[in-house]
Amino acid sequence: MKEIRFHGRGGQGAVIASNILANAAFLEGKDVQAFPFFGVERRGAPVTAFTRLDEKPIRIKYFIYNPNYVIVLDESLLKAVDVTAGLKDPGIVVVNSKRTPEEMELSQYKVATVDATSIALDNGLGSKVSPIVNTVMLGAFSIATSVIKLESILESIPGQVPIKAEENTKACKTAAEKIVLHW
């Protein structure tokens, strides 16, 4: 079983990202679960979402406390939230950032980065104040880990994003090319 945690801010699409990933894994024949942190939502507030995938039917129905992977959609969250809490060893952290793991004080983890904000804006996803980076981060995630194929992510984007399916698909592919693996 693989467990993935998404950290974003309300409006950035973390919950949809958890669903796209689940759907992509389902296309690969896995059983899946995707759920938001069961909270009371507000735009701009930190948001957490989760995806679980397994070869076998998933029967457990509780939170994810020890994810294998963490995806951080907004770099500023590094200061506000303990994004690596409970992360399994060896876990991978995928961050939307131009900085190095050292600069982000994440050097004890396997870190992959991508400038998702620029890629999103280049493709007209969201606005400067609130870029929508969810599909971009999933493109990066598929390269950083061997959990999911990029094609599966691309296939499940159109059914899951409310608008701009083509732009999202293109941005996702770009992220897969531009990702930096710091290991």
Partner 1 sequence: MSTKKVISGNYTASYASMLCRAEVVPAYPITPQTTIVEKIAEFVASGQMKAQYINVESEHSAMAACISAALTGVRTFTATSAHGLVLMHEMLHWAAGARTPVIMANINRALAPPWNVWADHTDSMSQRDTGWIQIYCSSNQEVLDTLILCYKVCEQPDIMLPAMVNLDAFILSHTSEVVDVPDQKEVDDFLPQFNPEIKLDVDEPLSFGTLAFPSSWYMEWRYKIQHAHDLAAKRLVEEAKAFEKHFGRPWGGLIEEYRSKDAEIILVTMSTIASTTKDVVDSLRDQGRDVGLVRIKSFRPFPTKDLREALGHAKVVGVADRSHTFGNEGPLFTEVKGALYNHDRRPPLVGFTVGIGGRDVLGSTIEGLYDHLEKVADGEAYKEVRWIDLIGDEEEVV
Nearest to 153 by CA among 1, 18, 21, 14: 21
Instruction: State how far the Cα of 180 lies from the Cα of 110, in Å rounded to an integer.
Output: 11
Which residues in 95-124 contact partner 1 (CB under 8 A)?
Answer: none
Q: Minimum CB separation from partner 1 for residue 156, in Å?
A: 8
CB closer to partner 1, 32 vs 92? 32
**CA nearest 156: which of 63, 22, 11, 55?**
22
Residue of 10, 28, 35, 155 interacting with partner 1 (CB under 8 A)? 35
118-137 burial code (b ≥16 CB/10 A, e <16) = bbbbebebbeeeebbbbbbb
In whole angstroms, give the CA distance from residue 100 to residue 113: 8
To partner 1, the closest distance from the beta carbon of 30 in angstroms equals: 9
- The amino acid occupying position 125 is L
Query: How near is the Cβ of 35 to partner 1 at its closest, in Å?
Result: 4
CB of 35 or CB of 122, closer to partner 1: 35
4, 14, 17, 32: which one binds partner 1 (CB under 8 A): 32
H helices present in 58-109, as ranges:
77-80
Interface with partner 1 in residues 41-70 (CB under 8 A): 58-63
Query: Which listed residue (2, 3, 4, 23) binds partner 1 by CB under 8 A?
Result: 23
Which of 12/19 has CB closer to partner 1?
Answer: 19
- Structure tokens belonging to residue 41: 């939502």
Site residues, partner 1 (CB under 8 A): 18-19, 22-23, 26, 31-36, 38, 40, 58-63
